């Protein structure tokens, strides 16, 4: 065995005997470093004859490869071992809480507005809006409710001036007037929004939400109205069987007018919508009164249609089992968390309304 | 409007059950609001159980009983009966009830120092038998009936209808019967009665003054003399009590009876109290009178009054006065049956804030042809019950009522309701409701009955026809799934997105009133016009909100009191900038509060301005407005902390997009909030809608260079980053502040700002020279433009 071979063997031994990554790093520079064994061996080549040069160089290269092979084996073994030892030591109590996050919520009224919009979108209605402050004309007169008429008593109105000409809208129906005055038929719109009546008790709040519907075209009759509301109610409550009753009523702005009741029963102190021996009024509707159409510059010889008004808060209460209307507007943190909806839970036609 | 089946059957021949009648009423638009057991004089007497009977502390013969009167109510009753003992089931009479035997009205009284609430009754006291030695001892089977009325009523219910304002005729039971008959549930009886002969001339002069806006156009009256006013007979009392009315005297009860029966309001005057004559005239300001509700009303000009030579007797069609009211001693009466104009009557009643049965009816429109019949029916009843003699009827009339005629094309029915209704059915329905139909070629001439002031035009007749035919007969046409235009417009889509964008950052959505407390609102109003509500629901909700903060802060504080120390709330909705329709803007407002002692184990840092700024910037980005398109201005409204708040404007500083910052500590402590102005966001975005560039990126080597500048303390960091960004956007890709330092080694009025600039060319790999050149340029430009100095 030449001296060189012996040195190689010694180094091999040294590598094999290395105990930890520090030793192995030291050995690495001792052998492969700038001033290490291999390089210093190469530097000896200069003084050799060309023949020996070649021979010795290949000897060094072989030796280097041999060492490198052993080194990589040993080094990875040590590193693995040390990694495992470290991992063993690193232990965190993962049952401690995660970093804080907050889940936001969408108010049930907003969610239900989105659900309703989604349903009416499917049958071609678009969304219109109007201002909360309205003129007496748009809120009453244009809607065929004359001055000093008892029908006004059904609406306890908030006024903004002493002449009672400016008010907070008592229903979303003025949006009908605005929509018809600014456009040309056909109209097929819904209009959700805030409405106001000076009324406050168990079942009334001074502000609530309504959804107006209006469909004006040639030959739209009461059968279309019935079909439209049948469709809506079935889709909204997401149940197959639901009893509905159209009951004649009176609103100054529609004629004939009707109210719609849905069937329900009480089971374990909870309202179950669908079938049963009890009726619950959920909306008012009718064929738009010719006087309203005339006030809105619509040719009543050519166009007619229906309108409806739904209490949004009431629908939300029924669908999601919320008992107290007033709680909608009390901003109780517990209530909002409990009844609110995840912001990613967007009602759509293709996904379905509720999760 | 209330009725009983019994009373209804005075006018309607029917073999239908109450349930069938109720269903029919609902189906023809006379909505049944509720059905209640009728009350009678004995309904007050209820089954009760003695829970405990102890000796009265101050009287040997009396007992102090604890009595269970149902509905988990236990009351104290002092009782002298020897058989009063524990667990006895008996009959209890509450305070206010009248004992049948002696007509004594019970009151809460002290008996030997102990308060007794009502009485336990013997059979004799209830006229059940002569047994008076002890109180009633009921069979065990009554133990399940504690709290219910002992005496069975007539097995008839009081049906309460919610009559829509267009149907005054159905405020009388006969009107309801007519509708029911038309619907096929029975036959309307003819209104037949034997008229009383008049025996003398009407001797009270009556006149209607020709005033402007005179509400009264017909005033009919008759005199009945020598009556013996008395308690009403049992049948009449029962009927009134069944509807919840209190019987008073025969004369008053009869006028009420006729009002409910025929919807014909009447008024009876005591002739001895009328001075000379009756004048129907308009009041003059300053006149006053005491009404039957025992209130004194001061009248204004032009209110319709019934007066005599002495002054006002009553308000026409609204309420009578005490001065001329009838009493049991009244001998001679004048009976009034008149027509008052609905609008004028309503106006007067509203001004004086009076609600009465008469007013309710007149403002809806009373049948002007019912004047005479009303007088005749009432006079007949009065004379039957009270005796006396009747005068001739005097009718003063200043206006003729013509029956309305409507031209009616029967084809319109199918056009509106969608199903075929043939002419014979149309004819039948209209006739049964009292319309007179004359066919003239294809168009009908329809004469409207005098009791239907709501019928003006064809469409009103369509409603009558389909209402009676039944809405259940309508087809249900499945909706067409065709869309004329997108469901949501551009603004609405952003509203929807903004709402969910803010919620996704951990905020709970609240919906609060659009109105708020003036004093709190003023703190947030700045220069915005105040919009007061003339008739607020309460004095602390008296203005429309100028900002969403007042209500959110109010509820945030309520939740703090509930123990929620860590809150994020938001609302999206209108704030009002004026009182004209449309003077409103849409704001998304968020508020955050974290109490420092309520920190999370893994959340080391407390809430600060940059949390709220992050929420605003991120929401704007989600709405499509990139940070680069905006700039921050440090001016904010006074409700923000002046030093810890900012405004986000469009880069050109023309459009205000949002405010953010700490809420002024004088308003609420340690709370941060923001307001995003949605209309502005959408207008801004629409302007730059099509400016989104196509994607270009460079794969050449990126280099970072760090700089630290000394700048004036007051210089905003944004100034420096703006300067650098504007030097050369082909090379400078990113400018990031990584440290701001004030303190040791730095002048008091200076701060050091450390910035990392990412440099990359789109066209080539930059060498050391290129990098040095641009670095040089950065240093020179910043030093020159911001009076800065590079720190070495």
Domain shared by B255 and B106, yes or no: no
- The answer on pLDDT for B598 being more than 80 is no
Residue A58 belongs to some domain of the structure? yes
Contact A154 B165 (CB under 8 A): yes
Closest C-alpha among B729, B792, B160, B167 to residue B449:
B167
Put simply, the answer to whether B417 touches A194 (Cβ < 8 Å) is no
User: A248 is written with which tokens?
Assistant: 């004649």
Q: Write the residue in B26, B416, B514 that is nearest to A222 by C-beta.
A: B416
Q: Are strands B630-633 and B640-650 parallel, antiparallel or unpaired?
A: antiparallel
CB contact under 8 A, A249 and B164: yes
Distance CA B384, CA A319 (A): 59
* A149 and A211 belong to one structural domain: yes
Q: Which residue of A has its CA nearest to B511?
A: A329
Pair B34, B17: CB distance under 8 Å? no
For residue A194, which residues of chain B lie inside 8 Å, CB to CB? 514, 573-574
B484 vs A134, A135, A188: nearest CB: A188
Which residue has 């008091």 as its token pair? B748
Percentage above 90 pLDDT, chain B: 69
- Measure the CA–CA gap between B764 and B741, rounded to whole angstroms: 36
| Interface mutation vs chain A, best among B27, B162, B182, B463, most A CBs within 10 Å | B463
* φ, ψ at B144 (rounded to 5°): -85, -5
- Which residues are within 8 A (CB) of B754 and not within 5 positions of it... i.e. 6 or more apart? B706, B707, B708, B737, B738, B739, B740, B741
Q: What is the pLDDT, as a whole number, of residue B139?
A: 86
**A28 lies in a domain?**
yes
Question: Do B384 and B366 sit in the same domain of this protein?
Answer: yes
CA distance B350 to chain A (A): 9
The label of the residue with tokens 């990359």 reads: B760
Residues A85 and A117 in one domain: no
Under a CB-based contact definition with an 8 Å cutoff, are residues B655 and B682 in contact?
no
Residue labelled with tokens 């059968």:
A223
Model pLDDT, residue A331: 96
Clarify whether residues B165 and B263 are in a common domain. no
Contact A148 B347 (CB under 8 A): yes
Alpha helices (runs of H) in B316-395, residue ranges in sequence order? 342-352, 357-362, 371-386
pLDDT at A154: 65
Decide: B154 and B38 in contact? Cβ < 8 Å: yes
Pick the more confident residue, B36 or A104: A104
Residues of chain A contacting B511 with CB distance shorter than 8 Å: 107, 109-110, 328-329, 331
Segments forming the whole domain that contains residue B168: 2-40+155-188
List the CATH number of the domain containing B276: 3.50.40.10
**Are B158 and B133 spatial neighbours (Cβ–Cβ below 8 Å)?**
no
Chain A residues near residue B34 by CB distance under 8 angstroms: none
| CA–CA gap between residue B12 and residue B23 (Å, rounded) | 16
For residue A158, is it within any domain?
yes
Q: Are A188 and A176 in contact (CB under 8 A)?
A: no
Computed over every residue of chain B, the mean pLDDT equals 91
Give the torsion sign (CA, A329, A333, A337, A339): negative
Which residue blocks in B433-548 are alpha helix, DSSP H? 458-469, 490-503, 518-525
Distance from CA of A310 to the nearest CA of B (A): 18
What is the per-residue pLDDT across B413-461, written as a single tens digit (0 to 9) for each? 999 999 999 999 999 999 999 999 998 788 999 999 999 999 999 999 9
ipTM: 0.87
Q: Per-residue pLDDT averaged across B628-645, rounded?
A: 94
Q: How confident is the model at residue B596 (pLDDT cuts 50, 70, 90)?
A: low
Q: Is B310 on the interface with A (CB under 8 A)?
A: no
Residues A185 and A225 placed together within one structural domain of the fold: yes
With a cut of 80, say whether residue A147 has pLDDT above it: no
DSSP state of B690: G
Q: Where residue A270 sits, what CATH number does that domain have? A: 3.30.930.10
How confident is the model over B3-12, as pLDDT tens digits? Answer: 999 999 999 9
Q: Within this chain, do residues A10 and A141 fall inside the same structural domain, yes or no?
A: no
Residues near B676 by beta carbon (within 8 Å), at least 6 away in sequence: B498, B587, B588, B589, B616, B619, B620, B657, B658
Nearest CA in chain A to B413: A221
Scan residues 485-544 of B and list those with Cβ closer than 8 Å to A. 485-489, 492, 496, 499-515, 531-537, 541, 544
8 Å CB contact of A133 and B581: yes
- As a whole number, the mean pLDDT across chain A is 91
Residue B323 lies in a domain: yes
How many Å apart are CA A341 and CA A337, to the nearest integer?
8
First to last CA, chain B: 93
> Nearest residue on chain B to A153, judged by CA atoms?
B165
Q: Which of B463, B484, B514 sits opposite A207 (nearest CB)?
A: B514
Same domain, A50 and A145: no
Q: How close B272 gets to chain A, by Cα (Å)?
A: 37
CB-CB under 8 Å, A153 with B416: no
Q: In this complex, do A101 and B506 lie within 8 Å of one another by their Cβ atoms?
A: yes
Q: For B411-489, where are the alpha helices, taking DSSP H only?
A: 411-417, 423-432, 458-469
Give the mean pLDDT of A78-101.
Answer: 88
In terms of Cβ atoms closer than 10 Å to its own Cβ (0-12, 13-18, 19+), residue A317 is: buried
CATH value at residue B440: 3.30.56.10
Do B53 and B33 have their domain in common? no
Which residue in chain B is spatially nearest to A116 when comparing CA positions?
A: B487
Residue B693 predicted with pLDDT over 80: no
Does residue A98 fall inside a structural domain?
A: no
State the sign of the Cα–Cα–Cα–Cα dihedral B655, B658, B659, B661: negative
From chain B, the residues in CB contact with A289 under 8 A are 459
Collect all residues of chain A within an 8 Å Cβ-Cβ radius of residue B503: 104-106, 343
Last residue of a domain, one of B689, B721, B745: B689
If you write DSSP's letter for every residue of A66-95 in order, what string do you get? HHHHHHHHHHHHHHHHHHHHHHHH----TT
In this structure, the answer to whether residues A30 and A147 fall within a common structural domain is no
Does some domain include residue B765? yes
Question: Residue A228: which domain range?
Answer: 108-339
Residues B96 and B81 in one domain: yes
Higher pLDDT, A308 or B608: A308
- Nearest CA distance, B577 vs chain A (angstrom): 11
Q: Flag whether residue B715 sits within 8 Å of chain A, measured between CB atoms.
A: no
- Record: contact A223-B475, CB cut-off 8 A: yes
A-B Cβ pairs (cutoff 8 Å, strict): 269
Q: Maximum distance among all alpha carbons in chain A?
A: 126
| b/e per residue B204-221 (b: at least 16 CB within 10 A) | bebebeeeeebbbbbbbb
Q: Are residues A285 and A229 in the same domain?
A: yes
Interface contact B600, partner A, CB < 8 A:
yes
- Chain B residues in contact with A122 by the CB 8 A cut-off are 481
pTM of the prediction? Answer: 0.84
Mutation for testing the B interface, residue in A160, A164, A187 having most B CBs under 10 Å: A160
B19 lies in the same domain as B62: no
B441 and B360 in a single domain? The answer is: no
A163 and A275 together in one domain:
yes
pLDDT exceeds 90 at position B628: no
Question: How far away is chain B from the Cα of A320, in angstroms, using its nearest Cα?
Answer: 17
**Which of B298, B316, B292, B296 shows the shortest CA–CA distance to B206?**
B316
Q: Does B595 touch chain A (CB under 8 A)?
A: no
Residues A178 and A306 in one domain: yes
Specify the pLDDT at position B546. 97
> B495 with B644, same domain?
yes
Residues of chain A contacting residue B537, judged by C-beta atoms under 8 Å apart: 158, 198-200, 206
CA distance linking residue B645 with residue B498, whole number of Å: 21
Nearest CB to A100: which of B165, B512, B602? B602
Q: Are residues A82 and A144 in the same domain?
A: no
Eight-class DSSP state of B391: B
Instruction: Please state at what angle helix B250-262 crosses helix B371-386, rounded to 10 degrees.
Output: 140
The answer for B 354-413 residues in CB contact with A (under 8 A) is 363-364
Same domain for B683 and B567? yes
CB–CB of B416 and A256 under 8 A? yes
Classify burial at B130, counting beta carbons within 10 Å of its beta carbon; exposed 0-12, middle 13-18, buried 19 or more: exposed
If asked whether residues B597 and B553 sit together in one domain, one would say yes
pLDDT tens by residue, B216-246: 999 999 999 999 999 898 889 888 988 888 8
- pLDDT, one tens digit per residue, over B515-544 is 999 999 999 999 999 999 999 999 999 999
Q: B374 has which bridge partners?
A: none
Q: What does the pLDDT look like over B555-583, one tens digit per residue?
A: 999 999 998 988 999 999 999 999 999 99
Same domain, A81 and A114: no
The Cα–Cα gap between A284 and A261 comes to: 9
Neighbours of B114 (CB within 10 A): 16
Of B556, B624, B619, B614, whose CA–CA distance to B587 is shortest? B619
Residues facing residue A258 across a β-bridge: A248, A285
Number of domains in chain B: 6
Residue B308 has pLDDT above 70, yes or no: yes
Q: Tell me, yes or no, whether B92 and B129 share the same domain.
A: yes
| Residue B153: band (very low, low, confident or very high) from pLDDT cuts 50, 70, 90 | low
Give CA–CA dist B48/B60, Å, rounded. Answer: 24
Minimal-distance CA residue of chain A relative to B351: A148
User: In terms of CA atoms, which chain B residue is nearest residue A287?
Assistant: B416
B599 has pLDDT over 70: no
Å between A26 CA and nearest CA of chain B: 34
Sheet containing strand B46-55, edge to edge, reads B74-79, B63-68, B46-55, B89-93, B119-120
Q: What is the pLDDT of residue A146?
A: 80
pLDDT in the model for residue B547: 97
Q: Going along B112-236, which residue ranges are E strands? A: 114-116, 119-120, 157-162, 187-188, 205-208, 216-225
Q: Which residues of B touch A257 (CB under 8 A)?
A: 463
Rg (CA), chain A: 41
- Residue B77 in any domain: the answer is yes
Of A89, A121, A153, at which residue does a domain stop?
A89
- Of B29, B487, B579, Cβ closest to residue A249: B29
B466 touches chain A (CB under 8 A): yes
Question: Are A85 and A115 found together in one domain?
Answer: no
Q: Residue B577: name the closest of B655, B671, B679, B492 by CA.
A: B679
> Same domain for B410 and B374?
no
Regarding predicted confidence, which is higher, A290 or A146? A290
B199: in domain: no
Task: State the total domains in chain A.
Answer: 2
Kindly tell me if the per-residue pLDDT of B691 is higher than 80: no
Please tell me the distance from the alpha carbon of residue B300 to that of residue B384, in angstroms, as a whole number.
41
Whether B28 is covered by a domain: the verdict is yes
Looking at the complex, does the CB of residue B605 fall below 8 Å from at least one CB of chain A?
no
User: Which phi and psi angles does B439 have, rounded to 5°?
Assistant: -80, 130
- In degrees to the nearest 10, what's the CA dihedral of B339, B344, B347, B348? -60
Nearest to B505 among A104, A131, A194 (CB): A104
Long-range contacts of B246-253 (CB under 8 A, 24+ apart): B249/B326, B249/B327, B249/B328, B250/B382, B250/B385, B250/B386, B251/B227, B251/B326, B251/B330, B251/B333, B251/B382, B251/B386, B252/B326
CB atoms within 10 A of CB A315: 23
Mean pLDDT of B748-757: 92
Distance CA B588, CA A133 (A): 19
Using the beta-carbon criterion (under 8 Å), do A168 and B514 form an inter-chain contact?
Answer: yes
Please indicate, yes or no, if residue A160 is contained in any of the structural domains: yes
Mean pLDDT of B203-207: 92
Tell me, yes or no, whether A95 lies in a domain.
no
CB contact under 8 A, A227 and B579: no
B459:A333 CB<8 A: no
Whether the pLDDT of residue B44 is over 90: the answer is no
Enumerate the residues of chain B whose CB falls inside 8 A of the CB of residue A129.
Answer: 492
CATH assignment of the domain containing B118: 2.40.50.140
Please state, in angstroms and as integers, the Cα–Cα distance from residue B773 to each residue in B699, B709, B763, following that order: 21, 18, 16
């Amino acid at each position: 065995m030449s001296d060189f071979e012996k040195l190689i063997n010694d180094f091999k031994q040294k590598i094999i005997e290395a105990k930890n990554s520090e030793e192995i790093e030291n050995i690495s520079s001792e052998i492969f470093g700038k001033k290490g064994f291999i390089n210093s061996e190469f530097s000896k080549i200069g003084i050799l004859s060309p023949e020996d040069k070649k021979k010795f160089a290949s000897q060094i290269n072989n030796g280097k490869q041999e060492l490198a092979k052993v080194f990589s084996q040993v080094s990875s073994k040590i590193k693995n071992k040390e990694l495992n030892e470290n991992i063993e030591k690193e232990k965190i109590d993962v049952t401690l809480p995660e970093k804080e996050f907050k889940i936001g919520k969408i108010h049930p009224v907003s969610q239900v507005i989105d659900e309703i919009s989604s349903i009416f979108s499917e049958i071609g209605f678009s969304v219109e809006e109007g201002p909360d402050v309205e003129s007496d004309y748009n809120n009453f007169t244009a809607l065929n409710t004359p001055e000093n008429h008892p029908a006004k008593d059904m609406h306890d109105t908030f006024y903004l001036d002493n002449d009672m000409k400016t008010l907070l809208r008592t229903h979303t129906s003025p949006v009908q007037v605005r929509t018809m005055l600014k456009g040309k038929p056909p109209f097929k719109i819904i209009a959700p929004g805030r409405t106001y009546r000076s009324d406050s008790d168990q079942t009334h709040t001074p502000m609530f939400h309504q959804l107006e519907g209006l469909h004006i075209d040639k030959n739209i009759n009461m059968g279309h109205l019935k079909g439209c509301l049948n469709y809506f109610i079935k889709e909204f409550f997401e149940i197959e069987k639901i009893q509905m009753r159209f009951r004649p009523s009176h609103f100054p702005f529609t004629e004939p007018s009707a109210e719609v009741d849905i069937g329900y029963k009480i089971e374990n102190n909870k309202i179950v919508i669908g079938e049963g021996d009890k009726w619950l009024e959920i909306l008012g509707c009718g064929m738009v009164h010719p006087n309203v159409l005339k006030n809105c510059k619509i040719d009543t010889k050519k166009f007619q249609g229906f309108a409806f008004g739904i209490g949004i808060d009431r629908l939300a209460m029924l669908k999601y089992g919320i008992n107290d209307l007033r709680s909608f507007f009390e901003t109780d943190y517990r209530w909002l968390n409990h009844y609110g909806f995840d912001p990613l839970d967007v009602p759509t036609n293709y996904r379905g309304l509720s999760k | 409007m209330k009725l009983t089946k019994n009373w209804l059957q005075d006018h309607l021949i029917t073999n239908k059950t109450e349930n069938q009648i109720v269903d029919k009423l609902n189906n023809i638009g006379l909505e049944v609001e509720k059905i209640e057991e009728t009350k009678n004089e004995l309904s007050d007497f209820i089954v009760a159980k003695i829970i405990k009977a102890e000796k009265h502390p101050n009287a040997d013969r009396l007992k102090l009983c604890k009595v269970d009167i149902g509905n988990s109510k236990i009351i104290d009753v002092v009782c002298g009966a020897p058989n009063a003992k524990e667990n006895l089931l008996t009959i209890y009479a509450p305070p206010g009830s009248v004992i049948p035997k002696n007509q004594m009205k019970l009151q809460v009284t002290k008996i030997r120092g102990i308060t007794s609430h009502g009485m336990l009754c013997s059979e004799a006291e209830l006229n059940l038998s002569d047994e008076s030695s002890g109180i009633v001892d009921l069979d065990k089977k009554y133990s399940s009936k504690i709290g219910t009325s002992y005496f069975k009523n007539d097995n008839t219910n009081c049906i309460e209808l919610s009559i829509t304002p267009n149907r005054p005729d159905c405020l009388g039971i006969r009107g309801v019967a007519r509708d029911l008959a038309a619907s096929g549930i029975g036959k309307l009886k003819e209104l037949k009665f034997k008229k009383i002969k008049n025996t003398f001339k009407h001797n009270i002069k009556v006149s209607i003054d020709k005033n402007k806006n005179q509400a009264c156009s017909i005033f009919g009256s008759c005199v009945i003399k020598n009556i013996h006013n008395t308690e009403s007979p049992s049948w009449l009392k029962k009927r009134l009590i069944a509807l919840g009315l209190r019987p008073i005297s025969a004369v008053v009860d009869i006028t009420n009876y006729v009002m409910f029966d025929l919807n014909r309001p009447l008024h009876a005057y005591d002739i001895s109290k009328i001075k000379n004559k009756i004048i129907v005239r308009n009041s003059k300001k300053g006149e006053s009178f005491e009404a039957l509700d025992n209130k004194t009303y001061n009248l204004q000009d032009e209110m319709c009054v019934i007066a005599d030579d002495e002054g006002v007797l009553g308000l026409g069609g609204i309420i009578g006065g005490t001065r001329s009211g009838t009493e049991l001693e009244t001998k001679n009466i004048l009976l009034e049956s008149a027509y008052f104009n609905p609008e004028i009557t309503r106006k007067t009643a509203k001004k004086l804030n009076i609600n009465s049965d008469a007013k309710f009816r007149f403002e809806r429109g009373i049948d002007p042809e019912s004047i005479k019949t009303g007088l005749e029916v009432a006079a007949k009843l009065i004379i039957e019950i009270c005796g006396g003699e009747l005068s001739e009827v005097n009718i003063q009339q200043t206006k003729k009522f013509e029956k309305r005629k409507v031209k009616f094309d029967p084809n319109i029915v199918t056009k509106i309701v969608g199903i075929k209704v043939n002419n014979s059915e149309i004819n039948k329905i209209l006739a049964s409701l009292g319309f007179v139909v004359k066919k003239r070629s294809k168009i009908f001439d329809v004469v409207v009955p005098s009791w239907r002031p709501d019928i003006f035009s064809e469409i009103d007749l369509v409603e009558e026809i389909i209402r009676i035919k039944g809405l259940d007969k309508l087809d249900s046409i499945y909706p067409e799934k065709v869309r004329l235009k997108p469901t949501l417009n551009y603004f609405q889509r952003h509203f929807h997105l903004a709402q969910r964008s803010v919620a996704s950052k951990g905020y709970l959505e609240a919906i609060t009133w659009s109105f708020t407390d003036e004093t709190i609102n003023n703190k947030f109003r700045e220069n915005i016009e105040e919009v007061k509500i003339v008739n607020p629901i309460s004095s602390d909700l008296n203005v429309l909100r100028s900002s969403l903060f007042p209500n959110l802060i109010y509820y945030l504080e309520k939740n703090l009191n509930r123990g929620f120390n860590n809150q994020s709330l938001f609302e999206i909705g209108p704030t009002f900038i004026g009182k004209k329709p449309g003077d409103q803007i849409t704001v998304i407002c968020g508020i955050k509060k974290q109490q420092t002692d309520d920190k999370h184990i893994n959340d080391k840092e407390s809430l600060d301005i940059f949390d709220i700024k992050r929420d605003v910037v991120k929401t704007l980005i989600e709405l499509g407005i990139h940070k680069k398109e905006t700039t921050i201005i440090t001016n904010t409204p006074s409700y923000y902390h002046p030093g810890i708040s900012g405004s986000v404007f469009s880069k050109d500083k023309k459009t205000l997009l949002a405010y953010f910052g700490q809420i002024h500590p004088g308003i609420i402590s340690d709370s941060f909030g923001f307001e995003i102005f949605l209309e502005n966001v959408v207008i801004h975005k629409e302007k730059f809608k099509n400016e989104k560039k196509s994607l270009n990126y460079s794969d050449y080597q990126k280099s970072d260079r760090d700089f630290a500048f000394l700048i004036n303390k007051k210089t905003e960091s944004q100034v420096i980053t703006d300067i650098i960004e504007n030097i050369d956007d082909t090379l400078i890709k990113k400018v990031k502040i990584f440290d701001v330092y004030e303190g040791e080694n730095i002048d008091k009025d200076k701060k050091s700002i450390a910035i990392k600039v990412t440099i990359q060319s789109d066209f080539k790999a930059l060498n050391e020279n290129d990098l040095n050149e641009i670095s040089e340029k950065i240093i020179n430009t910043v030093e020159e433009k911001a009076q800065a100095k590079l720190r070495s």
